[in-house]
Amino acid sequence: MTTDIAVPKHAAAQVEPRVPQTDLKVTQWRVLRSEWVKFWSLRSSYITLAATVLGMIGFGVLFSAVTANRWPVMEAAQRLRFEPTGVSLRGFELAQLIIGVLGVLLVTGEYGTGMIRASMSAAPKRLPVVWAKAIVFTVVAFVAGEVSAFVAFFAGQALLSSQHIQTSLSAPEVLRTVFGTGLYLTMVGLLGVALGWIIRSTAGGIATLFGLLLVLPALSDALPQSWSQHITPYLPSNAGQSLTAIHPDTGMLAPWTGFWVFCIYIVAGFIAAAILVRRRDA
């Protein structure tokens, strides 16, 4: 057992290289390619993305069809409140939750399975992994968000056109609203990614994300109005959703102002994530 493997020491160094000498440094670009392959090699990525797109389009079509159907018997007051872009994009209420889960899972899936240790030993500087995941997610979510927003819009308007109550992209603020809805979905997902890094557990990450998106606004509404008017518009989901409305509600931020406020939350989330990832044991 001791002598039958008589390979001379350093024999490996003498073996003829079979591949030309290449540069084997870990680079941001290479980590990005790795993360891209990681994303597309999980079945859950496809399922969650499909659910996001279907939620966005399905509900847009459903609400548009129901509205078109009910239009002839609708009361005047209801008709006054009708806004065709918003009806066709209403699916974002569901889609934001699904894409948020996708964002959280992108990170917590690695912590839950132990994969994070493999990832961090392959890229021990760690931050390239954080940035790569953010970039991969942004690209994927942006495409999925915009495609589903525009499809939902066009399908919805086609259904509404039976009652001649549709709108078009060239109408004021419509293009911004449709595009902004896809952008909002991307940002919600990114917030999920940042929370995933911070919290590391799937259940905790999803609960926190839903809490920020859904519970905080409800709590803020319970505050005295003199307080809530200074808080409510700046909450993450309220700020971000200003971009998804043709005319934001009174008291809410202007569309792009809201967008930038939402961006600040996400940047803050990623700064916290980067600090924690560097500092904590993997």
Partner 1 sequence: MLPLVGYQRPEAGVNMIEARAVTKRYGDKTAVDDLTFTVRPGVVTGFLGPNGAGKSTTMRMILGLDAPTSGGVTVNGKRYAEHTAPLHEVGALLEAKAVHSGRSAYYHLLSLALTTGIPRRRVDEVIDMVGLRDVARRRVGGFSLGMGQRLGVAAALLGDPATLVLDEPVNGLDPEGILWIRTLLRALAAEGRTVFVSSHLMSEMALTAEHLIVIGRGKLIADLSVRDFTELASRKVVRVRTPEAGRLRDLLVGADVSVTGLEPDLLEVAGLNSEAIGKAACAAAVPLVELTPVQASLEEAFMELTQDAVEFRVDDTANEHDRSVA
Give the shortest CB-97-to-partner 1 separation in angstroms. 21
77 binds partner 1 (CB under 8 A): no
User: In this structure, are residues 52 and 98 in contact, taking their beta carbons and an 8 Å threshold?
Assistant: yes
276 binds partner 1 (CB under 8 A): no
| Binding test (CB under 8 A) with partner 1, winner from 54, 74, 94, 120 | 120
Give the shortest CB-256-to-partner 1 separation in angstroms. 37
Give the shortest CB-108-to-partner 1 separation in angstroms. 11
Q: Compute the distance between CA of residue 153 and CA of residue 98 in angstroms, rounded to an integer.
A: 19
Q: Give backbone dihedrals phi and psi of 125, rounded to 5 degrees, phi first.
A: -75, -15
Binding characters for partner 1, 36-75, by CB under 8 A (x = yes): -xx--xxxx-------------------------------
Considering only the stretches 8-16, 187-195, 243-251, 263-271, report the one whose residues sit in contact with partner 1 under the rule CB under 8 A.
8-16
136 binds partner 1 (CB under 8 A): no
Summarize the chain as % helix, strand, coil (round to 5).
75, 0, 25
Sequence letter at residue 114: G
| Binding test (CB under 8 A) with partner 1, winner from 69, 78, 79, 124 | 124
Residue 94 burial class via C-beta count within 10 angstroms: exposed 0-12, middle 13-18, buried 19 and up: middle
Dihedral over Cα of 251, 252, 257, 263: its sign: positive
Give the shortest CB-269-to-partner 1 separation in angstroms. 23
Half-sphere exposure of 185 (CA within 13 A, CB side): 35
Q: Give backbone dihedrals phi and psi of 164, rounded to 5 degrees, phi first.
A: 55, 40
Tell me whether residue 41 or residue 170 sits nearer to partner 1 (CB atom).
41
Give the shortest CB-109-to-partner 1 separation in angstroms. 6
110 binds partner 1 (CB under 8 A): yes
124 to 86, 112, 113, 130: CA distances (angstroms): 46, 19, 18, 12
Q: DSSP of 169-215, one letter per residue?
A: TTSTTHHHHHHHHHHHHHHHHHHHHHHHHHH--HHHHHHHHHIIIII
| Binding test (CB under 8 A) with partner 1, winner from 122, 143, 171, 214 | 122
Considering only the stretches 35-43, 75-83, 184-192, 210-218, report the one whose residues sit in contact with partner 1 under the rule CB under 8 A.
35-43
CA 241 to the chain's CA centroid? 14
Give the shortest CB-39-to-partner 1 separation in angstroms. 10
| Binding test (CB under 8 A) with partner 1, winner from 69, 78, 113, 162 | 113
| Binding test (CB under 8 A) with partner 1, winner from 135, 139, 155, 282 | 282
Query: Strands, E, within the chain: which ranges?
Result: none
Q: Where along the sequence are the contacts to partner 1 (CB under 8 A)?
A: 1, 5-13, 15, 17-27, 30-31, 33-35, 37-38, 41-44, 109-110, 113-115, 117-118, 120-125, 281-282
